[in-house]
Structure 1
Amino acid sequence: MTEHSRISRRIAAIAESATLKVDAKAKALQAAGRPVVSYAAGEPDFPTPAHIVEAAAVAVRDPKNHRYTPAAGLPELRAAIAEKTLRDSGLAVEPSQVIVTNGGKQAVYEAFATLLDPGDEVLVPTPFWTTYPEAIALAGGVPVQVFAGSDQDYLVTVEQLEAARTPRSKVLLFVSPSNPTGAVYSPEQTKAIGEWALENGLWVVSDEIYQNLVYDGLRAQSIVEAVPALADRTLLVNGVAKTYAMTGWRVGWMVGPLDAIKAASNLQSHLSSNVANVSQRAAIAALTGPQDTVDVMRATYDRRRRFIVAELNKIPGVHTPLPEGAFYVYPDVTGLLGREWGGVTPTTSLELADLILDQVEVATVPGEAFGPSGFLRLSYALGDDALAEGVARLQKLFS
Structure 2
Amino acid sequence: MEKKRWIWIVLDSVGIGAAPDAHRYGPGDAHSHTLRHIAEAVGGLRAPHLAAMGLGCISAIPGVPCETSVGAYGRMREKSWGKDTTNGHWEFVGVVLDQPLPVYPEGFPPEVMEPFERYVGKPALCNRPASGTEVIEQYGPEHQRTGRPIVYTSADSVFQVAAHEEVVPVDVLYDWCRYARSILTGPHAVGRVIARPFTGSPGRYQRTHRRKDFSLTFGETVLNRVAARGYPVTGIGKIADIYGGSGITEAIHTENNMDGVDKLIAQLDRQDEGIVYVNLVDFDMLYGHRNDPVGFARAVEAFDARLPEIRERVRPGEVLCIVADHGCDPTTEGTDHTREWVPLLLWTPGMRRGVALGDRETFADVGATLAEYFQVDPPPVGRSVLAQVFGADETPSV
TM-score, normalized by length of structure 2?
0.29
Q: Which has the higher helix share?
A: 1
Higher relative contact order (CA 8 A, sep 6+): 2
